[in-house]
Amino acid sequence: MDNEKDRDENTGQEKNEQQYIRQTIKGKPISKKTAAARFAMACILAAVAAVIAAFVFVFTLPIAERVAGHTNNSERVEILKDDSGSDSISAESEETVMEVQSDSVETSETAAGSESGTAESVTDIVSAGSSELTIEQYVNMQNRMMDIAAEAERSLVTVSAISSSMDYFNNQLEKRTQTSGIIAASTGEAYYIVCLSSIFNNIERIQVTFNDGYITDAIYQKNDPNTGLAVLKINASEIPEETGNNIKVAELADTFSVSTGDTVIAMGSPNGYGNTVSFGRITSTENIIYCFDSQYNLLVTDIIGSAKGSGVLVDLNGVITGILNPAVTTSGSSVVSGIAMSQLKPMLEKLSNNETIPYIGIKTMEVTGEVSDITGIPEGLLATSVAKDSPAFYAGITVYDVIVMINESKISTINDYKTTLDSLESGQTVSIKVLRKGAEGYAEIEFTVEIGELE
């Protein structure tokens, strides 16, 4: 018993010897004065960082916009639209008056190269006692038309799409594809060029050559697949003063008043060769290009052109009446035809402002009261084609449906349809009412369509 007691006492002593002192060292508490000072310093540093960030943002934003080609609200492009009750062009012939020089008065300084004479119209000359033009009158008329072309040429440019490749010997080769373009708009800060989009495939650089020979880079904005047109942007700060003074923004015509028989000038490269000028007359205004969600009148002329041509049609006031794109206008014909300018203006304004073109995906034909009486089809827009995988396709609209209303807007003409569609935005949901023929006649059906983006 005593031995066990001794062992217990020894064990207790060993346990006591193995105990350690545990202590925690605490720092001196921070005073309120020190904490306030540290908080104030943190606020100052945050404010400095915010000022630096704001400075960097303000400094780099213009550069980023320049690289990306974005347009802000302060420099929005506005292209004056033309008013017409019907989206068609008059086919009635109107007299076109042009001043011709004869022998009594000297020409103005701007009409360099023309001979002196009095101004009289072509109609007056033809209807006068003589049944034919004299050689002198004909020469003066040609000189006057060349003066008009020379003034309009200030609005024309040559657009070059540049790409490079390596040959068999690893030498770098540069390829340039060119087309004619026009200076269609300006905000003072930038110029906007309209040209064919077909040359911009797998390219590395875009250059624009102005009338005086000055060359500068351009920024690609957007394109319209229906017409094959694209818009480029050039910052005005990159153009020297001398070139800027020579530039003239093109005046875009109201082509709803263009008539068969009007005299026009084809400029640019209508026959495939650059800087050419040809004269002729409009022979038809009633041919139509049917596109998805739109249609355009063609101004057909008697001027011989090329399938590789490009350029514009200019009237005798030097105003642009049409843009040439043989890929969509010729259909195998060898004559020059231009897309009527009035119908292009809303689309060109959207492209210039880098905005999307709203898309439903329907080709249509107007059913007038007269056509309705003959065919029995209700008045409205008859769907003649629905694009595959388009918003209309997924909504359930089919060929031969007659569109009569979009939201609360009544649709009777293509102009109604385009005006309503242009007011919408991609991603917006709309209601489209159609009349569809069934076993018991036409019945109204309402579809919900989400507006897409034309690509």
Specify the 3-state DSSP secondary structure of 343.
Answer: helix
Q: How many domains does the chain have?
A: 2
In this structure, are 314 and 391 located in the same domain?
Answer: no
Q: Does residue 410 lie within any of the structural domains? A: yes
In this structure, are 339 and 377 located in the same domain?
Answer: no
Q: Does residue 154 lie within any of the structural domains? A: no
Residue 168's pLDDT is what?
82
Helices (H), 283-409: 326-329, 341-352, 369-375, 391-395
Domain of 285 in residue numbering reads as 255-352
Which residues lie below 8 Å from residue 146, measured CB to CB, with a gap of 6+? 113, 277
Kindly state the greatest CA–CA separation across the chain: 161
In this structure, are 259 and 336 located in the same domain?
Answer: yes
Q: Does residue 425 lie within any of the structural domains? A: yes
Contact indicator for 186, 236 with CB cutoff of 8 Å: yes
Q: From CA 294, how far away is CA 365, in angstroms rounded? A: 10
CA-based R_g, the chain, Å = 36
Q: How far is CA 114 from the centre of its chain?
A: 38
Q: Does residue 45 lie within any of the structural domains? A: no
Specify the 3-state DSSP secondary structure of 52.
Answer: helix
In this structure, are 295 and 260 located in the same domain?
Answer: yes
Task: Look at the alpha carbons of 121, 124, 128, 132 in this order and tell me if their dihedral is positive or negative.
Answer: positive
Contact indicator for 434, 445 with CB cutoff of 8 Å: yes
Q: Does residue 145 lie within any of the structural domains? A: no
For residue 333, what is the domain's CATH number? 2.40.10.10
Q: Which of 295, 319, 352 is the last residue of a domain?
A: 352
Q: Does residue 211 lie within any of the structural domains? A: no
In this structure, are 373 and 323 located in the same domain?
Answer: no
In this structure, are 331 and 260 located in the same domain?
Answer: yes
Q: Which of 352, 371, 392 is the last residue of a domain?
A: 352
In this structure, are 325 and 369 located in the same domain?
Answer: no
Q: How far is CA 267 from the centre of its chain?
A: 21
Q: What is the mean pLDDT of each run of 10 residues along the chain (455 residues)?
A: 52 50 56 68 74 63 48 66 55 36 34 37 45 82 92 96 86 90 94 95 94 95 94 95 94 92 94 90 92 93 90 95 84 84 93 94 95 94 96 96 95 93 93 95 96 92
Residue 138's pLDDT is what?
85
Contact indicator for 287, 337 with CB cutoff of 8 Å: yes
pTM (two decimals) = 0.74
| DSSP 8-class letter at 377 | P
Reading the block at residue 446, the tokens are 């309402």
Contact indicator for 375, 386 with CB cutoff of 8 Å: no
In this structure, are 434 and 367 located in the same domain?
Answer: yes
| DSSP 8-class letter at 86 | S
Q: Does residue 151 lie within any of the structural domains? A: no
In this structure, are 302 and 264 located in the same domain?
Answer: yes
In this structure, are 346 and 370 located in the same domain?
Answer: no
**Could you tell me which residues are beta bridge partners of residue 208?**
159, 216
Q: Does residue 311 lie within any of the structural domains? A: yes
Residue 26's pLDDT is what?
54
Q: Which of 295, 320, 352 is the last residue of a domain?
A: 352
Q: From CA 254, how far away is CA 340, in angstroms rounded? A: 9
For residue 375, what is the domain's CATH number? 2.30.42.10
